[in-house]
Amino acid sequence: MAVLVTGGAGYIGSHTVIELLNSGNEVIIIDDFSNSKPEVLGAIQEITGKDFKFYEMDYANKEALKKVFEENKIDSVLNFAGFKSVGESVKKPIAYYKNNISGALVLLETMQEYGVKKFVFSSSATVYGEPERIPLTEDCRTGGTTNPYGTSKLFIEQILKDIYQSDNSWDIAILRYFNPVGAHESGLIGEEPQGIPNNLMPYIVRVASGELKELSVFGNDYDTPDGTGVRDYIHVVDLAKGHIKALEKLEKEGNGLYIYNLGTGTGYSVLDMVKAFEETTGRKVAYKIAPRRSGDIATCYSDPTKAKEELGWVAEKNLKQMCEDSWNYINKRGK
């Protein structure tokens, strides 16, 4: 199987490329390093001892993309090339919609032209907006996203449903990620947010390392056991493995549009995360209680039963491993 991976040098893309190579797939990566570094490619080779093809280009560049399809016999496409910063998306909606939606359209159009119809899409739990119920199942209501990043995911889901409706020879998997954290156990690749991190785990890690002074806990008056926000944190390697299972499903069964939650099914609060991190690493995480962050919800965790039953996938790594691997990465990379 030759798999085209857009954004393959990014956080989730790179971990997925490792799992693809380890399970014997041929991999072609496209990345423009707009939110990743070229060294990641060397790290992937070092970890897997395997080779892959690489094109440095914007995935929305139609001419360059056609060349990739001409030069390779691609069977399926995994799309990780989206912009993902919620705050930035509010400030730059046009850039977000252009990259995420127009980019996806160029990619899908090119796939159609070359008769490639297996597509795995990186969606997000954010498409559920304010959760209809907890735990979230795939049939819960979607919509009510609070920022262009989330809305771009929602729109692309709709686009994919429309494409499948028009031509059911497509095989599409929409994967709704909960909160990916952690890093590869080698410590050679991990999450590398630009500037000050917005997400919880990268922030905790940088407080523990002394790079940032203290964590602001955004609200302690939510209707949750300790008042702080509850989320479904999932180890990025488990998440990566979910993609392999989804691809296998598309190869075996095909002709369908499938939607899966990729989460652990367990919710942890912000303070649970701080405590787990301190216990695992022996480092102190200074924090203060701050006002709620706009757009945040109290509780969000998955019911991952569908992925278990239909893909044979379950998240295997626990919170301790998530903390350990996040910490290991930051230490190895040297701030």
Which residues carry out catalysis?
149
Write down the least CB distance from residue 5 to ligand UD1, Å.
19
Tell me if 122 contacts ligand UD1 by CB under 6 A.
no
Instruction: Report the site for ligand UD1 in 9-48 (rule: CB under 6 A).
Output: none
State the alpha helices, DSSP H only, in 125-269.
Answer: 148-166, 200-208, 236-252
Residue in 129, 229, 265, 304 binding ligand UD1, rule: CB under 6 A: 229
Tell me if 293 contacts ligand UD1 by CB under 6 A.
yes
User: Which listed range, 26-34, 42-50, 288-296, 309-317, lies at the site for ligand UD1 (CB under 6 A)?
Assistant: 288-296
- State yes or no: cis peptide before 135, omega within 30 of 0: yes
Tell me if 208 contacts ligand UD1 by CB under 6 A.
no
Write down the least CB distance from residue 130 to ligand UD1, Å.
11
Write down the least CB distance from residue 196 to ligand UD1, Å.
9
Instruction: Report the site for ligand UD1 in 148-177 (rule: CB under 6 A).
Output: 150
Which contiguous run of DSSP H or E holds residue 44?
helix 39-48
Strands of the 230-231 sheet, one edge to the other: 268-269, 230-231, 299-300
Rounded to the nearest 5°, which phi and psi values hold at 50? Answer: -125, 160
User: Which listed range, 41-49, 99-107, 194-202, 302-310, lies at the site for ligand UD1 (CB under 6 A)?
Assistant: 194-202
**Residue of 127, 121, 102 whose CA lies nearest to 164:** 121
Residue 210 has a CB neighbour count (10 Å cut-off) of 9
Tell me if 220 contacts ligand UD1 by CB under 6 A.
no
Beta-carbon contacts of residue 68 (< 8 Å; ≥ 6 apart): 4, 28, 30, 55, 57, 74
d(CA 137, CA 126): 13
Residue in 98, 218, 280, 289 binding ligand UD1, rule: CB under 6 A: 218
Write down the least CB distance from residue 91 to ligand UD1, Å.
13
- Cα 36 versus chain centre, distance: 14
Amino acid at 164: Y
Biggest distance spanned by C-alpha atoms of the chain: 56
Closer Cβ to ligand UD1, 77 or 205, answer by number: 205
Partners of residue 104 on adjacent β-strands: none
**Residue of 137, 123, 125 whose CA lies nearest to 300:** 125
Write down the least CB distance from residue 225 to ligand UD1, Å.
13
Scan for tokens 């912009």, then name that residue.
83
Residue in 231, 243, 245, 249 binding ligand UD1, rule: CB under 6 A: 231
User: Which listed range, 28-36, 113-121, 209-217, 319-327, lies at the site for ligand UD1 (CB under 6 A)?
Assistant: 209-217
Tell me if 124 contacts ligand UD1 by CB under 6 A.
yes
d(CA 324, CA 283): 11
Tell me if 127 contacts ligand UD1 by CB under 6 A.
no
| Residue ranges in contact with ligand UD1 by CB under 6 A | 86, 124, 126, 150, 179-180, 198-200, 203, 215-218, 229, 231, 270, 293, 295-296
